[in-house]
Structure 1
Amino acid sequence: MQDHAYYSEAYRRWLTGRALSPQTIKLYTGVLRRAWEDLGDLTRVSEDDLGKWINSYRGSTRYTYVAALMSVFDWLDIVGHRGVHPLRRVDPRERIKRPQRPRSRPRPFSPEEEELVLRSAVGQIRIWLLLALRQGLRRHEIAQIRGDDFVDNQLRVDGKGQKVAWLPVHPEIAVIAQEMPVSGWWFPSATSGTGHITPDWVGNQVGTLLKLNGLSGSIHRGRHTFGTTLLRNGVNPRVVQELMRHDNLETTMRYLEVIEDEKAKAISGLGSLPSAA
């Protein structure tokens, strides 16, 4: 019987062949290893034990683990290592239900927090933050940015799911680009294996900076700030959707949920009916 390391590597190769992003591959293989360590041989685990393990998690973690395990057992089924898929039973009454994705509320920086963070950031960390705040980039998009991605005041972004988008370059980023390499990686690394720094490195460095300033969260708060500020400035939500590269408008509209003060201001600003002549 093979151990989880054998299956993990074979599964990783299968995911790579399907052109999934490195982040998704790392996440899914990590879930395989954790489930194997907790439950034992996944080619033999019972649906009851798997269901109890899944139900021990809550929120976004549970959602992510189920999504990953759906893929894991699909692969085990395809390669013939497991005859019955425990998450895709024929009878829907017996099937382990996939939880709905929790609706998380964005956490943009306040203007004061943004000023504090940018004032304390130096070097590459400041550039990373500005790429999130002014262009709405995710950490993996920041890590792999290249000088060649800037063409005629447009920025090429390799986003989620290998989707490519072109964004107008913010003036602050245009100034930074003049000081950065015109070709090749902006943030090279000799040890990462990809030639550029890793998304985890970006996230860890910015996370540490936030903690030093008494703030919680991650660099993704910069992207939250990007979307929320656009909406606050009255930009058409469809335009915001395109700039944030969301697949659907519903995802973009979630950024409106944080503008509670503007809701109150809108209501209080309504005038009374004119008096009768």
Structure 2
Amino acid sequence: MTHSPKLLEKMQNTLRRKHYAYRTEKTYLDWARRYILFHNKRHPQEMGVPEIETYLTYLAVERNVSASTQNQALAGIIFLYTQVLKIEIDPKEINASRAKRSQKLPVVLSKEEAHKIINLMVGTHKLMTQILYGGGLRLMEVIRLRTKDIDFANRQIIVRSGKGDKDRVTMLPEKIIEPLQNHLFRIKEVHKLHLKNGYGSVYLPNALAIKYPHAKIEWQWQWVFPSKTLSKDPHSGETRRHHLGASSLQRAVRKAGKLSGINKRISPHTFRHSFATHLLENGYDIRTVQELLGHKNVQTTMIYTHVLNRGGIYVRSPLDD
């Protein structure tokens, strides 16, 4: 294929110009590449709705992908056409076989189970998991926290550019204030050392690096959970300290989950599910929980009311009469 390398490079440049997250950039490029390869390396300009439908149907029927994965593929392909090739395609016109959306209820820990797992963890990973459970943050939201997002005075955490690129506020648990302050003190000392050695800068979102050229070395913009090692920025090529990787926390949570002996599939997101469920158990209204979670639609939050009702939690079994 003679066209695709230049085309995918153009797509990458467009994604970066529009300030898409690096993970989204990689995902969209991968789906565009797979779409082209599926159609024997034909140029997308020679294809259209029928070929998109064929590929999406293949994903659902032959590959048996989830609905979210199929939607992700569609989003990447639509971006290629509308933003790169400037060919308007309405997703509503695409009549492909749709992957079935899972009806599974989320895995939720009891309060005792959540504390048991957290108490089996140590150091930075323990602190991160306490924020997952104590504030209901998503995995990447915790990892991407910057020091300015922690508001000790008002006991709150500001979640910047969450899902849907929206900011929100959630609570900062009283229990972690002192360990988090101690953690930030240590991080700040390391930051000072890096500045002396010519490093200490971080990635800044969108055009902030141009508008505020010195902001990248300021303390307020530093990661709350930085990586232990320096790395090269994939966009700029600059050597700097990035935030901890997602896999590091995922491994730590899985390890603690196994050690706990709790027979549930436990991941960092399990603590977000548990946060929502336990708030509802404590009598907080669904709209409050929706805002804390950052859900656009209250129907998404309603899944936790089903979790509360499962297994007859509030219904007495006739066997116990």
Change (3 A) 1:165 1:255: same
Say whether the 8 Å CA contact 2:132–2:272 is kept in structure 1: yes
Aligned counterpart, 1:180: 183
Look up the match of 1:191: 231
Percent identical residues: 26
Consecutive unaligned residues of structure 2, counting only runs of 5 or more, are 186-218, 234-240
Q: What stretches of structure 1 of length at least 5 have no aligned partner?
A: 269-277
Kindly state the Cα deviation for residue 5 of structure 1 after the two structures are TM-superposed.
4.9
Deviations 1:4-55 (A, max 9, x none): 5544443233233333333333332333344445443262566274244222
Q: 1:251 aligns with which of 261, 280, 300?
A: 300
Matched, 1:125 2:125: yes
Q: Which moved more, 1:221-230 or 1:202-211?
A: 202-211
Q: CA RMSD in A?
A: 3.2
Aligned partner letter, 1:154? Q
Q: Which moved more, 1:220-229 or 1:189-198?
A: 189-198
Letter of the 1:178 partner, please give it.
Q
Query: Against the structure 1 CA distance between its residues 199 and 187, is the aligned structure 2 distance closer, same or farther, given a 3 Å change threshold?
Result: same
Q: Give the Cα separation in 2 of the matches to 1:261 and 1:63.
A: 24
Deviation at 1:149, TM superposition (A): 1.3
Q: Offset at 1:242?
A: 1.1
Match of 1:206 among 253, 257, 260: 253
Change (3 A) 1:217 1:39: farther
CA distance, structure 2, for counterparts of residue 168 and residue 264 of structure 1: 27
Count of residue pairs the alignment pairs up: 263
Match of 2:95, SS state, is: coil
Decide whether aligned partners of structure 1 residues 59 and 10 sit closer, same or farther in structure 2, where only a CA change above 3 A counts: same
Aligned with 1:23: secondary structure? helix
Residues 11, 198 of structure 1: alpha-carbon distance in 2 compared, 3 angstrom cutoff: farther
1:243, CA displacement in angstroms? 1.1
Distance 2:41 2:289 in 1: 46
Q: What CA distance in whole angstroms lies between the structure 1 residues aligned with 2:124 and 2:8?
A: 34
Pairwise CA distance, 1:163: 1.3
Tell me which residue corresponds to 2:64.
58
Give the 3 Å change call, closer, same or farther, for CA 111–142 of structure 1 in structure 2.
same
- Pairing 1:15–2:64 present: no
Distance 1:221 1:237 in 2: 19
Normalised TM-score (structure 2)? 0.69
SS in 1 for 2:158: strand
Q: CA deviation at 1:139?
A: 1.0
Closer/same/farther in 2, CA of residues 260 and 167 from structure 1, 3 Å limit: closer
Aligned residue identity for 1:157: V
Per the alignment, residue 95 of structure 1 pairs with 95
Quote the Cα distance in structure 2 between the aligned partners of 1:179 and 1:67: 40
State the distance in 1 between where 2:33 and 2:310 align. 45
Q: Distance in 2 between matches of 1:210 and 1:170?
A: 22
Paired residues for 1:1-277 under 5 Å: 1-2=1-2, 5-41=5-41, 43=44, 47=51, 49-55=54-60, 56-58=62-64, 60=66, 62-80=67-85, 88=91, 92=93, 95-96=95-96, 99=99, 101-151=101-151, 152=153, 153-158=155-160, 159-181=162-184, 183=219, 184-189=222-227, 190-191=230-231, 193=233, 195-214=242-261, 215-260=264-309, 265-266=314-315
| Aligned-partner Cα distance in 2 for 1:174–1:4 | 51
Cα 1:205/1:2, change in 2 over 3 Å: farther
Pick closer, same or farther for the CA change 1:20–1:97 going to 2, 3 Å: farther
